[in-house]
Structure 1
Amino acid sequence: MDTPPSRPPDSARPFLNALSVWAERTRTDWARASLARARALLAERPEAEAAFRAALEQADRGLGPFGQAHTQLLYGK
């Protein structure tokens, strides 16, 4: 099995930046929760734990039950 890269692929950065701008402009819970989840998925291994905790907290407020469950699955809960 291949080991995943230790840092996010460069191709993901423009999308993360666009999502960040969108979340800041709209200031909606859904956008902030989506940004937190994207940051967690792209976080370096040492920061991933804290990033997923933040994403789970945001998911409670902004993604509804399905989005919250999806975030939990991505985290490994």
Structure 2
Amino acid sequence: PLGTGRPISIAWMKGRSRAYKLNTRNPNGNTVISVVFNERCDMLVATAMVGDDRPAATESSVIEFLNGNTVMRWAEITLGL
């Protein structure tokens, strides 16, 4: 892990975000952001590969995407949220 996780909000749901450094030589990057959030008994997990070593700079874009209509519509239909 690259530091401690931090609280996040995706729509009305609460969760946590945390960055990790991978021990691999991947041309797409070696840092990932993990975002976990829940609604009662339903939990969603998203992992984003970051192309550089600055996950904090990318985290807001990941959160914005997860808060978008496409993801929220999918969650509502698939999970019945």
The TM-score bracket by the shorter chain reads 0.3 to 0.5
| Greater strand share, structure number | 2
**TM-score normalised by the chain length of structure 2:** 0.32
Which of the pair has the greater relative contact order for Cα pairs under 8 Å at 6+ separation? 1
- Relative to its length, the structure with more helix (as a share) is 1
Structure index of larger Rg = 2
For normalisation by structure 1, the TM-score amounts to: 0.33
